[in-house]
Amino acid sequence: MRLSNQFFYTLREDAKDEETRSGNYFVRSGMIKKVGTGIYLFMPLGLRVLKKIENIVREEMNKAGAQELLMPSLIPEDYYVQSGRKDVFGHDMFSLKDRYNRGYVLGPTHEELFVYAAKEMIHSYKDMPFNIYQIANKYRDEPRPRFGLIRTREFMMKDAYSFDVDDEACDKSYQKMFHAYQNIMDRVGLNYKIVKAGTGAMGGNLSEEFQAVVDIGEDTLVLCSNCDYASNLEVSTCIVDETESYEEEKELELVHTPNAGTIAEIASFLQEDKSRFVKTLIYKIDGKFYACLIPGDRDLNEEKLKKLLNAKEAVLALPEEVERVTKASVGFAGPISLSIPIIMDRHVQMMKNFIVGANQTDYHYKNVNLKDFKVKKIGDIIHVKEGDLCPNCGAKLTFKKGIECGNTFKLGTKYSESLGLNYLDHENKLKPVVMGCYGIGLARIMTSVAEQRADDMGIAWPVQIAPFEIALVVINPKDDVQKTIADKLYQSIESMGFEVIYDDRNERPGVKFKDMELIGIPVQITVGKKASEGTIEIKHRGGEKEEITIDLLNEKVIEYLNQ
């Protein structure tokens, strides 16, 4: 592409509203522009990157035997009412009425319609397996979109669904997709980790996430320093250090702790470390109150709590409710002589002489031990911390931040049962189809790769997804010799099948260099003063320039692009 007379602009100043480095560079390099909260338009340059990612995804999906189709975004709401997900999504789904007051939604994810499509195909076990997918926009009314393209309300997603006769067959389909995902993430040049994740409201049995390792990520990845354990914080576990404490059990003691309602306050008041405390959190779980005991320096994991109790909903009790249940102000709840059932984290089992609230405003108990109260259930209900011990090998766990770029789910029969997707097996018996679903966020890949490769000049795109492979800069387009040579080179490189952005604008050299580095073209060729002597320059973005003779250009270009 010749830059003169093309739609191309860059901004010299940082974007006001972009919190991420990549987001700022996307805006400054004219790739995207914010239209509203969580809504962006893609300018030609940005679209090229997105399309390249899309094509890699499409190629790998097709290679894995999946077939592409296209679902509508505007969907009669009945499909989501039937599946029960109108309620599950609630306000997260955009819904609207047409002129006849009929209800529609903008599709937040498409299990329902894929099942609808699959029903046309599936009658018998002979009709499976197959995998169908689309690359299309999804709509979610996020409470708080942020981080550039990472959390937007409209976003391009590849979603695929596999259909199989049983779990064993589904495993095979799942593995195919899993490998396709590895190929995709490798090809786009992403530094990523595959972690185990929660199945959440999607339901199903197994979920793995392809997480880009990026500091601005919203997810926390728990990785083992020794083995290959990798898991999303949501579902991470650890083994409990069972080193026996030989501490003597001391006499229970009631202490006056005026106005010290939080762990931090009471810890500083009593001059004790937070780990000497046991927090008592009052939860309302499926309508009933429970007290949850966890170490004072830990956070409760509501997902784990729900799972332990096989519950649908777990919410922290309101202050009034806490006061009613504990007969004390918030902050003084404790397990001793409490009337509601007590759920205790495993770690508390190993503690001795700890401190808890006394269920009396302004009082705590010191030297509390397990014999002092009754527990209904013991389990793992806390988030792991850095330094906890790996559940596989016992080595220390470390944390990294991640952006979820892709995920793979084994859905089981959840949707096929609720939506009546069945087939006849060998024995003429009706059985539910076993499904898998597989998603990839295209703009999240774009952001993650950019974030991982940004420097203080701009984005250093990998060749595979760069908007152009080669930048050709002519230093002085008013110099006839330079211009003629550059024009020729442009045609010749383009005819070799490479994507070239040819900067023939009448700008000063510095402007062109800065722009090419900002938008991140991997290889740059410069035609300058020495062109008249048959010498030009080639370099990697941000690298050292090499002077070469013009006749060597073709082979050098290939060499540089492959490096």
Residue ranges binding RNA (CB under 7 A): 10-13, 15-17, 19, 28, 34, 36-38, 88-89, 92, 108-109, 138, 140, 142-146, 151, 157, 200-203, 218, 407, 439, 441, 457, 475-476, 478, 506, 508-511, 513-515, 517-518, 526, 528-531, 537, 545
Q: What is the Cα–Cα distance from 228 to 156, expressed in whole angstroms?
A: 31
Q: What is the Cα–Cα distance from 107 to 113, expressed in whole angstroms?
A: 9
- Residue 556 tokens read as 């050098």
Q: What is the Cα–Cα distance from 400 to 528, expressed in whole angstroms?
A: 46
List CB contacts of 526: < 8 A, sequence separation 6 or more: 473, 475, 536, 537, 538, 539, 545
Smallest separation, CB 377 to RNA (Å): 22
Q: What is the Cα–Cα distance from 488 to 106, expressed in whole angstroms?
A: 50
Torsion angle defined by CA atoms of residues 234, 454, 408 and 195, in that order, rounded to the nearest 10 degrees = -40
Smallest separation, CB 206 to RNA (Å): 13
Smallest separation, CB 174 to RNA (Å): 15
Distances (CA, A) of 353 to 193, 220, 292, 370: 41, 33, 18, 9
Of residues 393 and 511, the one with the C-beta less far from RNA:
511
Smallest separation, CB 115 to RNA (Å): 16
Residue 234 Rama label (left phi>0; alpha psi -120 to 50; beta): alpha
Of residues 441 and 522, the one with the C-beta less far from RNA:
441
Smallest separation, CB 285 to RNA (Å): 14
Smallest separation, CB 518 to RNA (Å): 5
Smallest separation, CB 12 to RNA (Å): 4
Residue pair 21/454 in contact by the 8 Å Cβ criterion: yes
Q: Which of 510, 25, 553 is nearest to 539 (CA)?
A: 553
**Angle CA(287)–CA(93)–CA(194) in degrees, nearest 5?**
85
Residue pair 170/434 in contact by the 8 Å Cβ criterion: yes
Of residues 212 and 356, the one with the C-beta less far from RNA:
212
- Residue 418 tokens read as 């609720």
Of residues 397 and 471, the one with the C-beta less far from RNA:
471
Q: How many CA within 13 A on the CB side of residue 207? A: 20
Of residues 114 and 125, the one with the C-beta less far from RNA:
114
Of residues 361 and 407, the one with the C-beta less far from RNA:
407
Residue 447 Rama label (left phi>0; alpha psi -120 to 50; beta): alpha
Classify the C-alpha dihedral 11-13-18-21 as positive or negative: positive
Smallest separation, CB 254 to RNA (Å): 33
Smallest separation, CB 54 to RNA (Å): 16
Q: What is the Cα–Cα distance from 180 to 101, expressed in whole angstroms?
A: 43
Q: What is the Cα–Cα distance from 470 to 503, expressed in whole angstroms?
A: 11
Smallest separation, CB 144 to RNA (Å): 3
List CB contacts of 6: < 8 A, sequence separation 6 or more: none
166: DSSP letter: S
Smallest separation, CB 30 to RNA (Å): 11
**Beta-carbon neighbour count of residue 293 at 10 Å?**
26
Of residues 88 and 393, the one with the C-beta less far from RNA:
88
Residue pair 28/14 in contact by the 8 Å Cβ criterion: yes
Q: Which of 292, 348, 345 is nearest to 322 (CA)?
A: 292
Of residues 267 and 531, the one with the C-beta less far from RNA:
531
Of residues 228 and 546, the one with the C-beta less far from RNA:
546
Of residues 88 and 254, the one with the C-beta less far from RNA:
88
Smallest separation, CB 483 to RNA (Å): 12
Of residues 128 and 157, the one with the C-beta less far from RNA:
157
**Angle CA(9)–CA(11)–CA(17) in degrees, nearest 5?**
125
Of residues 202 and 328, the one with the C-beta less far from RNA:
202
Of residues 219 and 224, the one with the C-beta less far from RNA:
219
Smallest separation, CB 239 to RNA (Å): 27
